[in-house]
A and B are shown apart, each in its own frame.
Chain A
């Protein structure tokens, strides 16, 4: 709950993970010879991983109440539905 005291996460460690993941992204994008679809999925996976680190540790969602977490992620299913709906332009 909002009234509960807690300890600081190690923000510098999260920064280090983000920096490493960014370097891996660049490496995957330009140094690998993966098929186009695999490359796209790998890059999107890395981006989502980085976004989750920011949301969980910098925006403190990991330490928030379930009530706030549910409110914060409420628009995500709608966003996913929209993206999946429009991506059919490409798939079919």
Chain B
């Protein structure tokens, strides 16, 4: 699993005495610890509300669009890989956008001779995150248009018909709506914050080439946040959409 490449990288910055890591990274990990408890509180509430009720829950895939969300999950995972490629690029001192890799001059394969640097992978990460949010907004509009609201399912709509036919249980429709929009909404908010932060770093630090292989703390710190957001979505996708 995960064999090592030949390139050797240096840490983003010198460690602070005592903690063993630089301060920005320590601060991000402490923040992520609080985020773990925030999302655990949401998931815990969801468990109480879902399994505490004697009534059945809507079957997976009847209201929520699993294929679109599975694609969105894959997109967020790709975005996480782009971020870690950005991290690896700047750790190797590659600040550029795209260039031909001089070490592989005669290889016709695109992924061998096009050598992405920090600017390319960071921009790809932002695009991946922004597309994820865009698809989530589209999903919300589609669901609301068909009658699935945070307060429940509206009568006289497509999903209202499913309730009338007994395919979607009426008793839990309100809890289903409120838990779905709360959990995915807070996650979407986190993704949006990540995209905005990365846009700021892209224009303020990445494009002017303020990061180097000797100091790329910002890339690692925002990367930790971004991977955490990906990790949370992996859990939410399973418990909200698939179970």
Contact = CB atoms under 8 A, between A and B. Distances in A.
Interface string A20-64: 001001100110000000011001101100110011011100000
B2 A14 contact: yes
Name the 3 nearest CB pairs between A and B, nearest first.
Answer: A90-B51, A2-B15, A7-B4
Contacts of B37: 75, 78-79
B238 A8 contact: no
Given A10-B5, A75-B37, A54 B238 contact: no
Contacts of A39: 243
Interface stretch (B130-138, B172-180, B186-194, B225-233): B225-233
Nearest to A47: B238
Given A7-B6, A39-B243, A87-B51, 10 more contacts: A2-B11, A5-B9, A8-B7, A15-B81, A22-B70, A26-B66, A30-B66, A83-B44, A86-B45, A90-B52
Contacts, number: 158
Contact of A11 (B10, B29, B81): B81
Interface in B92-114: none
A29 B14 contact: no
B46 to A, nearest CB: 9
B19 interface: yes
Contacts of B29: 68, 71-72
Nearest to B36: A75
Interface residues of A, number: 53
B2 A57 contact: yes
8 contacts: A2-B14, A12-B81, A30-B60, A58-B227, A59-B228, A72-B32, A79-B37, A83-B44
Contacts of A40: 243
B70 A3 contact: no
A26 B72 CA distance: 13
Interface in B40-70: 40-41, 43-45, 47-48, 51-52, 60-61, 66, 70
Contacts of A18: 77
Contact of A47 (B41, B47, B235): B235
Given A10-B3, A43-B238, A76-B36, A2 B21 contact: yes
Contacts of A87: 47, 51
A8 B4 contact: yes
Interface stretch (B83-91, B148-156, B160-168, B196-204): B83-91
A83 B40 contact: yes
B174 to A, nearest CB: 18
Nearest to A3: B15
B224 interface: yes
A54 B80 contact: yes
Contacts of B2: 9-11, 13-14, 57
B78 A15 contact: yes
B79 to A, nearest CB: 11
